[in-house]
Amino acid sequence: MKLLIGNDDGILAQGVQALANALAEVGHEVTVVCPDRERSATGHSLTMHQPIRAERVDDRFHSSIAAWACSGTPSDCIKLALSALVDSPPDFVLAGINHGANVGTDILYSGTVSAALEGYIEGIPSVAFSLASFTSRDFEASVEFALRLLKQLGEHRPTEPMLLNVNIPPVTGDRIAGVTLARQGVRRYTDVFQKRVDPRGKTYYWLAGEVLEELDDEPHKADIPIDGIAIAQNYITMTPLQSKLICPSKLDEMRGWDWLKGI
């Protein structure tokens, strides 16, 4: 299959190199276009007011891989690749493997998910992969599952564009509890801005904080686990996503309001 891979950790990240090289080694045609530096938590931002540059990278990937380091955001990378760097659309757009989980409301900030979302917007089936740890560098189980998933998706090609968010627990393969479909939960943090002073005496702030809890805002769907909770139980989670943010229930409710009342 023809695959386009991006990420938000940057072209030097171990996760994307492990994924791309493994896919190339089993015979897939792989193109990699990643930010030239760390661009995590940039969401779906695009570069509008300055040029985007892309340079070939020849020494970090399998010899069959065409790899590019891009000055733009994760979404820029996929958009540029599809418009200018690949000669025909790929069968799948992949993002990752990300360093750190992308679950709950973190999905809204994720550059990894946004890279995959860009492929989905362009009508291409897309998958975001994340290893649920910022410190682990063992991507073996993540790569193994990605290979299995791509094989299944290749055998059962989606009939319409899909966006799948996959998170893998940071444990060895023998400790993975299983694979489950999961709902997007609500993740609450204790957001703390640490006040600091730089060497020139200027004040700056550094965002810190920790996860407080994983909330279930749809308890009536308890038969499908929440992504953040399932990951903590060592399950690989798969969550289908979409680009539409509209809330149908609120739309139906507001249609009955008298918008001219009181004017």
Per-domain boundaries in the chain: 2-183+223-253
Q: What's the pLDDT at 216?
A: 64
67 CB-contact burial (10 Å; exposed 0-12 / middle 13-18 / buried 19+): buried
CA–CA separation, 248 vs 174, rounded Å?
Answer: 42
Cross-strand pairs, 98: 130
Residue 213 pLDDT? 60
Q: Helix, strand, coil proportions of the chain in percent (round to 5)?
A: 30, 30, 45
Tell me the pTM.
0.90
Structure tokens at 28: 């897939």
- Residues of the chain whose pLDDT is less than 70? 189-191, 209, 211-217, 262-263
**pLDDT at position 118:** 96
pLDDT number for residue 191:
67
pLDDT computed for residue 189 by the predictor:
67
Kind plus residue range of the DSSP H or E element containing 128: strand 126-131
Three-class SS of residue 138? coil
CB 213 within 8 A of CB 219: no
CATH of 2-183+223-253, one of 3.40.50.2300, 3.40.1210.10, 3.40.50.150, 1.10.1040.10: 3.40.1210.10
Report whether 179 contacts 231 (CB < 8 A): no
Residue 94 three-state SS: strand
**Pairing mode, if any, of strands 163-168 and 178-181?**
unpaired
pLDDT for 221? 73
